[in-house]
Amino acid sequence: MKTSKDKEGAADKSASSVQKETDTNPMRPELSEMIHRHAFGLDENRPDAVAKRQQKNQRTARANVDDLCDAGRFIEYGALAIAAQRGRRSVDDLISKTPADGLIAGIGSVNGSSFGDDKARCMVMAYDYTVLAGTQGYFNHKKMDRMLKLAYEQSLPLVFFAEGGGGRPGDIDAVGIMTAGLDLSTFGSFAKLSGKVPLVGVVSGPCFAGNAALLGCCDVIIATKNSNIGMGGPVMIEGGGLGVFKPEEIGPVDVQTQNGVVDIEVADDTEAVAAAKKYLSYFQGATSKWDAADQLRLRNLIPENSKRAYNVRTVIKAMADTDSFLELRPKFGPGIITGFIRIEGRPFGVIANNCMHMAGAIEAEGADKAARLMQLCNAHGLPILSLCDTPGFMVGPEIEKRAQVRHVCRMFVIGSHLTVPYFTVVLRRGYGLGAMAMAKGGFHESFFTAAWPTGEFGAMGIEGAIKAGFKKELAAIEDPAQREKLYEQLVGELYKRGKAINIASYLEIDSVIDPADTRKWIMQGIKSVPARRPQEVGHSFVDPW
């Protein structure tokens, strides 16, 4: 194992190499000191810390930041900070063991080659788990406050690597400056960014307490399979008299993906950074290069048998630019699919009913997921595409126990306050209040509401409507065969009346279109709406839920 002196020697070596590269004359002592200090925080001079990360199949915080940012396009703030523990440890030890006080922070460029310098600007903050378990120290709080102020003033998107254990009790130098520390501005300043700039949270490994509180304020949470996320870690749980638990037992990723905390699950750090870059790209503008599948394929993706289910993700991927679909919360609220796509390079939010779950009926969790996608898009100016195929809201005594009334109505309230373009395409079923919610509150509330020829409409499910509306007539027929014949006749008539072409003839929807022309309709729609003015804002922040 390398000693502190070994590490100092490595730092000296790094400083020496820089000296040779920059100037053949003797280096001034203050410059040499600066280079020496900065070198302690570099991964190449911390082999033991790097090795520990590799043993866990994780990268260092600096490796993640380097991967996220365009090469040579990251400037670090506060790199010379050390832990507030001068009263209990030597300065040399703190310099060696607590570089940057466990928080790497700065401004960089992300996806600059695709979107240009102005749109690539990004604030990056990463807790360093190799420094005191990524805990929140006095000086890294101070550093974060500085960065959050800059992010707000300069409207910088934020990518936040959140791994760590929360508050740090060992910073004794702060005693006398603060006691409980509950007057910190960090959490309020972080939350204040919501709705102003995209907030991307990334976690790999344990993330508890204060770290998790900041993570939970993010627009999106990307988590690796080895993540554990909780508002309280093992120490806090045990201190509260609630038992002794290992970190792995608290908020594992399989729990946090199903309950909606985690938006995107990935395998490892490499995939996490790639997902962060892809997510951020939707808020950086249009791409000039794109490919798309043969749109004639869309004509045959809806089964001829109207009672057969199909995978709406296949429809989304076929309609969108190739490899442009990024889904959020796939294991939570599975009755509705949400995410982002591109069409001819333009980014859109997408909401779609999933007929493979409860026939596409809208449940409380799915409504929450759709409502939050609306908020995200409205806050950051993305148009929304809604793909409707629903029999309506889910009903029954059991669903009402999940506060269905309040949850599903979020779609109406938030939809009515949207200022971004909203396009509705009915793939098959458009029934009742659920279909209206998918269309921003009604078929005439969207910029356009078009249907594929497979579309069918009604105030409620047709079979149920006949059974309820013609109950007496059907009951009056004693012969079961004759009763069934009348029932089928009435159902057929109602289906004919609710066909997309007939509904369009009454102007309840705007048109019935060839599925292969869907992209053309969407792009003509986006070209027909005026650019949103800066003062036109809907929801002023993005609800964490």
The pLDDT tens digits for 319-347 are 999 999 999 999 999 999 999 999 999 99
Place of tokens 């986006």: 526
Residues 274 and 162 in one domain: yes
Q: Which helix (H) or strand (E) holds 451?
A: strand 448-451
Mean local confidence (pLDDT), 528-533: 77
Query: What was the pLDDT predicted at 7?
Result: 46
pLDDT averaged over every residue in the chain: 91
pLDDT at position 221 over 70: yes
Pairing of strands 336-343, 346-353: antiparallel
pLDDT at position 295 over 80: yes
Residues 490 and 395 in one domain: no
Which pLDDT tens digit goes with each residue over 374-394?
999 999 999 999 999 999 999
Please check whether residue 17 lies inside any domain of the structure. no
Q: Which of 37-41, 282-286, 485-489 has the lowest mean pLDDT?
A: 485-489
Please check whether residue 10 lies inside any domain of the structure. no
Please check whether residue 48 lies inside any domain of the structure. no
| Number of domains the chain contains | 3
Triad 227, 232, 235: Cα angle to 5°: 100
22: pLDDT confidence band, cut at 50, 70 and 90?
low
Please check whether residue 431 lies inside any domain of the structure. yes
Mean local confidence (pLDDT), 472-491: 78
Task: Give 251's contacts (C-beta < 8 A, 6+ positions apart).
Answer: 228, 229, 230, 261
Query: What was the pLDDT predicted at 4?
Result: 45
Residues 164 and 255 in one domain: yes
Q: Which of 312-321, 403-412, 494-503 has the lowest mean pLDDT?
A: 494-503
Nearest CA to 41 out of 20, 14, 67, 23 is that of 14
pLDDT at position 1 over 50: no
Which pLDDT tens digit goes with each residue over 108-150?
999 999 999 999 999 999 999 999 999 999 999 999 999 999 9
Task: Yes or no: say if 369 and 408 are a contact pair by the CB < 8 Å rule.
Answer: no
Residues 410 and 421 in one domain: yes
Nearest CA to 404 out of 412, 396, 415 is that of 396
Question: Can you read off the two tokens belonging to residue 406?
Answer: 């309040």
Question: Can you read off the two tokens belonging to residue 426?
Answer: 């009915």
Question: Can you read off the two tokens belonging to residue 448?
Answer: 């356009």
Residues 422 and 472 in one domain: no
Write out the residue range of the structural domain in which residue 239 sits. 60-281
Residues 415 and 324 in one domain: yes
Task: Yes or no: say if 392 and 404 are a contact pair by the CB < 8 Å rule.
Answer: no
Which pLDDT tens digit goes with each residue over 404-413?
999 999 999 9
User: Which CATH number does the domain housing residue 117 bear?
Assistant: 3.90.226.10
Query: What was the pLDDT predicted at 175?
Result: 74
Query: What was the pLDDT predicted at 538?
Result: 45
Please check whether residue 219 lies inside any domain of the structure. yes
Between CA 371 and CA 240 the distance in angstroms is 35
Residues 201 and 332 in one domain: no
Question: Can you read off the two tokens belonging to residue 446?
Answer: 């969207």
Q: At 68, which amino acid appears? A: L
Which pLDDT tens digit goes with each residue over 83-101?
999 999 999 999 999 999 9
Residues 380 and 504 in one domain: yes
Residues 333 and 223 in one domain: no
Which pLDDT tens digit goes with each residue over 160-174?
999 999 888 888 887
Question: Can you read off the two tokens belonging to residue 474?
Answer: 């059907």
Determine if the pTM surpasses 0.85. Answer: yes
Please check whether residue 11 lies inside any domain of the structure. no
Query: What was the pLDDT predicted at 9?
Result: 52
Half-sphere exposure of 291 (CA within 13 A, CB side): 3
Mean local confidence (pLDDT), 285-297: 96
Place of tokens 């806090």: 236
Residues 212 and 299 in one domain: no
Please check whether residue 155 lies inside any domain of the structure. yes
Query: What was the pLDDT predicted at 407?
Result: 95
pLDDT at position 534 over 70: no
Between CA 215 and CA 211 the distance in angstroms is 6
pLDDT at position 445 over 90: yes
pLDDT at position 19 over 70: no
Residues 261 and 119 in one domain: yes
Residues 438 and 477 in one domain: no
Query: What was the pLDDT predicted at 478?
Result: 81
pLDDT at position 190 over 90: yes
Q: Which of 256, 281, 306 is the last residue of a domain?
A: 281
Residue 496 CA from chain centroid, whole number: 41
Please check whether residue 326 lies inside any domain of the structure. yes
Query: What was the pLDDT predicted at 470?
Result: 76
